Amino acid sequence: MEDKAYTPDEVAKVFQISKHTVYELIKRGELQAFKIGNKMRIEHSEIERFKESSKAPAKKGPIEQTAATGSLAASIRLSGSHDFLVEHFSKQAARAINLQIQPSYIGSLEGLMLLYRGQCDIAAIHLLDPSSQEYNLPFIHQIFIYESILVMRLASREQGFIVSKGNPKNIHDFTDLTRKDIQFINRQKGSGTRFLLDSKLAGFGIDPRMINGYDNEEWNHLSAASYISRGIVDTAFGIQSAASHLGLDFIPVANENFDLVFRFTHENKQSLTALINYLQSAGFKDSLTDLEGYDITNLGKIIYQTTKTEELL
């Protein structure tokens, strides 16, 4: 039963929702799917995970530790950018420290704003500040004044052009996107990839209106890359690992910092502390095997924290 894969129609019947809603959940990264040819499939285990994450949360109180096992009985809400390493540590944390992470892949900026409003516990971000050309910290310094915040480096990633095998359209730089024979697929506004793309286009003096498909948006790297593997578009701007997953070629353009931002409260401090310790452990690093396009040299490094956070830890 665990190995069974379902169609979007079957998932819609399970949850008594429309097929359109299922596709929207997949598009936003809230429900993970894979493709066989042009057909979308969802694993049974993913349906069960989504079921659990969709349950109404219990009334908040102090986070308790299970006396018998010492494992945390809590769930943590993560919002922000989609990334394969984030998917991996979410699954690993459930197994290793009994901590359920509820992900919502809605883009870096939206994730950071949910964290600011107290609607999640962790934000996954890679936001380039155009003025300083620095990642993430300029936004954090502006938004979080009184909150207890800790910022951890997850990885550095390669961003660039995802193209068909052999690069048949000979795409190499941003000026190629303005060619009439090139069809592009973009990421949604508020995503870190969109921030980086727009910054690069401005630097080259390129009017986005000259790019065929600039207004066509997808919500995660794999969905954008799938348009290329299906021959619908010629290129997307995204991460190397998405290209590798689908057997596509990749032209590197920039290296970016991908960070996790933790917001501590009295309710979540035990769970977040346990998760941080796990992410810094040799056990978690040993679990990472498919790292094409990633540099994890600084994985687990604390790059910023407020005094209030130090008091909570």
CATH number at residue 33: 1.10.10
Is 119 inside a domain boundary?
Answer: yes
Is 62 inside a domain boundary?
Answer: no
Spatial neighbors of 26 by CB under 8 A, at least 6 apart, are 8, 32, 33, 40, 42, 223
Is 61 inside a domain boundary?
Answer: no
| Model pLDDT, residue 260 | 98
- pLDDT per residue over 130-160, tens digit each? 999 999 999 999 999 999 999 999 999 999 9
Q: How many domains does one find in the chain?
A: 2
Confidence of residue 219 (pLDDT cuts 50, 70, 90): confident
Mean pLDDT over the full length of the chain:
88
- pLDDT per residue over 250-308, tens digit each? 999 999 999 999 999 999 999 999 999 999 999 999 999 889 999 999 999 999 999 76
What would the mean pLDDT of 173-191 be, rounded to a whole number? Answer: 97
| Model pLDDT, residue 294 | 97
Confidence of residue 2 (pLDDT cuts 50, 70, 90): very low
In this structure, the answer to whether residues 19 and 92 fall within a common structural domain is: no
Is 138 inside a domain boundary?
Answer: yes
239 burial type by CB count under 10 A (0-12 exposed, 13-18 middle, 19+ buried): buried
Give the C-alpha separation, 63 to 306, whole Å. 22
- Least confident segment among 32-46, 55-69, 153-167, 190-204: 55-69
Nearest to 114 by CA among 152, 86, 143, 153: 143
Is 305 inside a domain boundary?
Answer: yes
Residue 220: strand, helix, or coil: coil
Amino acid at 170: N
In this structure, the answer to whether residues 138 and 2 fall within a common structural domain is: no
Residue with tokens 């502006």: 142
Question: Is residue 58 predicted with pLDDT exceeding 60?
Answer: no
In this structure, the answer to whether residues 78 and 185 fall within a common structural domain is: yes
102 burial type by CB count under 10 A (0-12 exposed, 13-18 middle, 19+ buried): buried
Question: Is residue 71 predicted with pLDDT exceeding 60?
Answer: no
Here the CATH number for the domain that contains residue 146 is 3.40.190.290
What would the mean pLDDT of 100-109 be, rounded to a whole number? Answer: 91
Residue 198: domain span = 67-313
In this structure, the answer to whether residues 47 and 172 fall within a common structural domain is: no
- Is residue 97 within 8 A of residue 74, CB to CB? The reply is no
pTM: 0.78
Confidence of residue 129 (pLDDT cuts 50, 70, 90): very high
Residue with tokens 């048949």: 168
Give the C-alpha separation, 279 to 155, whole Å. 12
In this structure, the answer to whether residues 10 and 104 fall within a common structural domain is: no
In this structure, the answer to whether residues 48 and 71 fall within a common structural domain is: no
Cite the DSSP H helix spans in 97-182: 108-116, 137-143
Give the C-alpha separation, 15 to 220, whole Å. 23
